[in-house]
Structure 1
Amino acid sequence: MNCEWCDESTVEEITCTVYWELPDGTRAIEITETPGMKCSSCGMEYQSEDTIEALEDQLLLIDTSKLGKEVSYESLMAQPKLLKRNYFKF
């Protein structure tokens, strides 16, 4: 697997903490133990497009008012959904 930033093949899978703005724009939350990638060549840490899409969909489909300032990725993804799917994805 190559780094999305520098295209070197020195990427490893990690878990990290990310900060994400809620879809309504009212605040940001800290999401711990989030799957990610880290490149040892350029030092960049980032999430795959699949992880980003999963986070954004989940935050759109749950009651975010019940979230605290910090939540683990696993706990966030286990939150009950208000809708079955993201109907805004075409």
Structure 2
Amino acid sequence: MMQELRADSVSIDFLRQSLAVDNAMIIGSPTTILVKLKCQYQLYRQQQFLAHVDTGALPYELVKNNIAILANTIAPQLRAFIAEASV
């Protein structure tokens, strides 16, 4: 995808850095994403999250699956975390 958008590829170091908890890119496993969003919430107390799931390079089924994971796995756990943090 990055080759199509920028005419070059992304280094493995960039990808590794993107997985760090303090990196704003929301990529990784559902657990990694949840940890990142919890960290961001603790820092900023934001009330909304807008996810840009794809730029057109992924097949529809993968995009659909990613949205389902965000909605059915990550969001409920994040809502519970926020509710508990608000007490």
Q: Same fold (TM over 0.5)?
A: no
Q: Scaled by the length of structure 2, what TM-score is found? A: 0.28
Q: Of Structure 1 and Structure 2, which has the larger fraction of its residues in helix?
A: 2
